[in-house]
Structure 1
Amino acid sequence: MSRALIIVDVQNDFCEGGTLPVEGGAELAGAISEYVDAHHGQFDHIVATQDWHIDPGAHFSENPDFTESWPRHCVAGTRGAELHPDLDTEYIQAYFRKGQFTAAYSGFEGLLAPDDAVPTGDRKPGAMPVSAGAGDAGASGGEGAHGEETEAEDAIGLYDWLQSHDVEDVVVVGIATDHCVKATALDGVQAGYSVTVLRDLTVAVADDPEDAIAEMELGGVDIA
């Protein structure tokens, strides 16, 4: 049995200074790095997810309700969409980008990023932004937005990747407890994985995430 750590959406826009900051996001990036440095030997695989929006429709709003609609964030190819610099990527094997044309809260909606993607947003002055991934507007002339044939048909999703690596046990950390962490954890259970969320290695949008914790527990997620 293989065990995987999924690091959810520890991105610049979700940390202090970003367009949709969650309190404690930057500190969490460092805490996850410390945890991975100390415990990476306990995992066979470590992956990360990223919001990677191109045109997610009503998910972006100038008058967001902060429940179903939000300010613009994690736009594909921008620094805001890249992983926070305090998140050490040394042990991360793969990146899964989600939400090009939908809201996509769950990491299981993500597609494997290109091997040459720059994980932290560090690039030389004047360089082109990172590709938005298989089937995105930047890589396919915009065809993906209208459902035409794109490379996305051949892209590898998180579930397929975990299956191909014989993963059965999943541990989830990241941002935010009551949104993308919750959705990823519940989808993991539905996909047949044993799922644990490390509560101290998540931060929430809500001041009190107890409802989200209870929902995960009811859905079969272990909270540690």
Structure 2
Amino acid sequence: MGRIAFIAGICLSAAALVQAVPFSPKLHKNTALVLIDIQNDFITGSLNNARAPVILPKVYQLLDDHEWPFIVASQDWHPIGHVSFASAHAGKQPLDTVNITFLDTPTKMEQQTVYADHCVPGTWGAGIEEGVQTRLYYLEGYRTPVNYIKKAQDHSVDSYSAFADNQYHRFTTLNSELTLHRVDTILVTGLITNACVRGTCIDGIKLGYEVILIEDATETLSDEIKASTIEELEGWGVQVMNLTQWESTNPTRLQRRALKEL
């Protein structure tokens, strides 16, 4: 009887421990938060954009007020001499274009826009914006898996999408990581709307995910470019809404209970 009582005591203690860890009413099951290239160079650095800082309070809100089973933070991670750098092409200036060959098909060409050098590993510009990075450090050290996707590391091909390079020559680990965490919906934010955000959203649709773009947590160079890109993404099947709209359609468990009681 003593042994049975001892085992029963262990079971009761374990049950009490489980009950002491409450179910989180804010956990968005099967939905990953995807932060695209919220890096210093795209905000105040070499490719600075005066409109970019506007998204930060919304991104902070998503990190502060919600719990996620998985968070993705992508970063451009360009080696010196990258194909997207104007400095790598004699006589070219930022925003010029060059023709480059496909890595797998030398007879096939694509047009590449070139920019000022940006997001070189080891530089301040490649780092994630301080407020976002501080929150990610806290979350990944506490309760949330965070996967940092370093993209466009190949000298010879650019990568807008966090899933793959522009030629689909190489894929990142993102799709397999989302599958591992049983994610079927991605909530996309970040910079810039018509480039890396666009590429990630389209590839997400191609791979079968439900893709939601939070339009006030993404920015680009002008209202016109943003509106045109959003129209295109909606044509692909991307759901576009602002953060207030998304939060209203994704109430927490406690909010749903309160609504039922009204």
CA distance in 1, matches of 2:206, 2:119: 27
For 1:100, the equivalent position in structure 2 comes to 153
What are the superposed Cα offsets for residues 23-75 of structure 1, whole Å, 9 maximum, x if unpaired? 23234234311222112x2x321110000001564311040226721111001
For 2:173, the equivalent position in structure 1 comes to 157
CA displacement at 1:86 relative to structure 2: 1.9
Q: List runs of 5+ in structure 2 lacking aligned partners.
A: 1-28, 88-92, 98-112, 141-145, 242-262
Paired residue type of 1:31? K
Aligned residues of 2:36 and 2:73 also touching (Cα < 8 A): yes
CA distance in 1, matches of 2:81, 2:175: 22
Q: 1:53 to 1:218 in 2, by over 3 A?
A: same
Q: 1:161 to 1:66 in 2, by over 3 A?
A: farther
Matched residue SS, 1:108: coil
CA distance in 1, matches of 2:148, 2:158: 18
CA displacement at 1:222 relative to structure 2: 0.6
Paired residue type of 2:235? L
For 2:190, the equivalent position in structure 1 comes to 174
Identity of aligned residues (%): 32
Query: Could you tell me which of 118, 123, 131 is aligned with 1:78?
Result: 123
CA distance in 2, matches of 1:97, 1:109: 11
CA distance in 2, matches of 1:204, 1:66: 18
Paired residue type of 2:62? Y
Query: Could you tell me which of 228, 237, 251 is aligned with 1:211?
Result: 228
Matched residue SS, 1:213: helix
Computing the radius of gyration over CA atoms, which structure comes out larger, 1 or 2?
Answer: 2
Matched residue SS, 1:167: coil
For 1:65, the equivalent position in structure 2 comes to 95
Aligned residues of 2:162 and 2:172 also touching (Cα < 8 A): no
What are the superposed Cα offsets for residues 100-152 of structure 1, whole Å, 9 maximum, x if unpaired? 12210001128xxxxxxxxxxxxxxxxxxxxxxxxxxxxxxxxxxxxxxxxx9
- After superposition, residues 4-19 of structure 1 pair within 5 angstroms as 4-16=32-44, 18-19=45-46
For 2:240, the equivalent position in structure 1 comes to 223
For 1:25, the equivalent position in structure 2 comes to 52
Query: Could you tell me which of 195, 217, 220 is aligned with 2:211?
Result: 195
TM-score (normalised: structure 2):
0.63
TM-score (normalised: structure 1):
0.73
Report the aligned-residue RMSD. Answer: 2.3
How many pairs were matched up?
179
CA displacement at 1:77 relative to structure 2: 2.0
For 1:47, the equivalent position in structure 2 comes to 72
Q: 1:178 to 1:11 in 2, by over 3 A?
A: same
Q: 1:36 to 1:70 in 2, by over 3 A?
A: same
Aligned residues of 2:163 and 2:172 also touching (Cα < 8 A): no
CA distance in 1, matches of 2:221, 2:96: 9
Matched residue SS, 1:218: helix
Aligned residues of 2:51 and 2:221 also touching (Cα < 8 A): no
CA displacement at 1:206 relative to structure 2: 3.5
CA distance in 1, matches of 2:235, 2:71: 26
CA displacement at 1:156 relative to structure 2: 6.0
For 1:117, the equivalent position in structure 2 comes to none
CA distance in 2, matches of 1:210, 1:58: 28
